Amino acid sequence: MAPQEHPVSLTGLETPCLVLDRHRMARNVERLRAHLARLEVPLRPHLKTVKSSDVARLVLQRPDGPAAVSTLQEAEQFGASGIRDLLYAVGVTPNKLDRIAAIRARGIDLKVIVDSVEAAAAVAAKSCETGDAIPTLIEIDCDGHRAGVPADDAAHLAAIGKALHQGGADLRGVMTHAGESYSCVGAAALEAMAEQERSRAVACAEVLRQAGLPSPMVSVGSTPTAFFVRNLDGVTEIRAGVFPFFDLFMTGLGVCDRDDIALSVLTTVIGHQRQKGWILVDAGWMAMSRDRGTARQAVDQGYGLICDLSGHHYPDLVMVDAHQEQGVLAIRAGSAAKLPDLAVGDMLRILPNHACATGAQHDGYFVVETGSTEVRAHWSRFRGW
């Protein structure tokens, strides 16, 4: 549906579709900006969550960036929309370097990351081949979670740094992502993880500097650590992705309240299995994604928590099962809440486990204000690699 065709109310939309509460989003963005302003460190939003130039404009402080991306498709799309300072925050593979060189040749300052001498050598070789020194950060593993050079492996770090700096690339420093923060619950654990992320990244930058190598950038961050960090000495920027939308997983971590979640899926009641206490709706895993992140948290939200059309949640009503285009709603096990009396055709909104995964299933956002069902705009999303 094109923007100009959007109906004036959510009740006129075909379901399932994605709804974005722009008032909640603005509040979420402002909260992180204010926190980081106090710490005097700039934010580099990770746009993998939003994948929309319309949303990016409201998330970035300046139209030309900085921002992070997870695919070259995002780099191309956001680059074309005017964002110039981009970090491709996934370890680069040699077969992507031609496309990266082409993006950079269009005036977009796209930076890459590596965590091996092999990848560093490939970036250096491409830099020499094109005459454009590709700006590169070394990824640090600060928590054993994913990729990156182990933070205590100074020899490996220096070897990668030399392969970049002496090989012809533009060594910019280090970056890390505390993915393990997604397993930390509560303020104390998140503060400790944020300090671990900071201190290990800063120490690795020092390793490079002591080896005579440059490290002007020290880039760290995840949404949980960004909100709970108290000290950013030595850090030059913070990255965070899901904070504009938030989701039930972030609620489970204590990073936000349920009423901060700005993203929901609009759905329509198909029918009932009354003996079982089930309500069937036309949003299944295709609309919600298969993400079940809250299954490992204290409160399992199934495939999502159910709200009415205005965004007020029904106590303990969750999507307990999902088929491709059908969801099964029921009262959470152990709850004394009563199944609401909903008729075929009634419309609902579903808060997702994981905004990045649910958003990726849709081609755009229908935009509303908190508590209202009036559709104010339609903003497109893109996808692919």
Given the complex with its own copies, which of 226 and 232 has the nearer CB atom? 226
Q: How far is the CB of 246 from its own copies (least distance, A)?
A: 16
Q: Which stretch binds its own copies (CB under 8 A): 37-45, 184-192, 310-318, 377-385?
A: 377-385
Count CB neighbours of 181 within 10 A: 26
| Cis status, amide bond into 340, omega within 30 of 0 | no
Query: Pattern of binders to its own copies over 32-51, x per CB under 8 A?
Result: ----------------x---
* Residue 319 CA: distances (Å) to CA of 19, 36, 94, 281, 283: 17, 36, 42, 9, 10
Nearest residue to 189 via CA among 147, 155, 143 = 143
Given the complex with its own copies, which of 236 and 294 has the nearer CB atom? 294
Site for its own copies in 109-128 (CB under 8 A): 114-116, 118-119, 122
Query: Pattern of binders to its own copies over 256-275, x per CB under 8 A?
Result: ------------xxxxxx-x
**DSSP code at position 302:** B
Q: How far is the CB of 188 from its own copies (least distance, A)?
A: 25
Site for its own copies in 216-255 (CB under 8 A): none
Given the complex with its own copies, which of 259 and 346 has the nearer CB atom? 346
The DSSP bridge pattern shows strands 263-273 and 347-351 to be: antiparallel
Q: How far is the CB of 219 from its own copies (least distance, A)?
A: 17
Interaction of residue 211 with its own copies, rule CB under 8 A? no
**Helices vs. strands in the chain: H and E counts, helices first:** 11, 18
Given the complex with its own copies, which of 41 and 160 has the nearer CB atom? 160
For residue 44, what are the β-bridge partners?
239
Among 356, 367, 368, 375, binds its own copies (CB under 8 A): 356
* Residue 147 CA: distances (Å) to CA of 90, 113, 114, 138, 144: 9, 11, 9, 11, 8
C-alpha angle 155-161-164 in degrees, rounded to nearest 5: 145
Site for its own copies in 58-97 (CB under 8 A): 70-72, 90-96
Given the complex with its own copies, which of 144 and 371 has the nearer CB atom? 144
Note whether 367 and 378 are within 8 A (CB).
yes
Given the complex with its own copies, which of 40 and 341 has the nearer CB atom? 341
C-alpha angle 24-33-240 in degrees, rounded to nearest 5: 85
Nearest residue to 92 via CA among 64, 123, 47, 124 = 123
Among 39, 102, 125, 147, binds its own copies (CB under 8 A): 147
Q: How far is the CB of 118 from its own copies (least distance, A)?
A: 4
Place of tokens 């950038």: 217
Binding site for its own copies (CB under 8 A): 14-17, 48, 70-72, 90-96, 99, 114-116, 118-119, 122, 141, 144, 146-147, 150, 179, 268-273, 275-276, 280, 282, 285-287, 289-292, 323-326, 328, 343-345, 347, 356-357, 360-363, 383-385
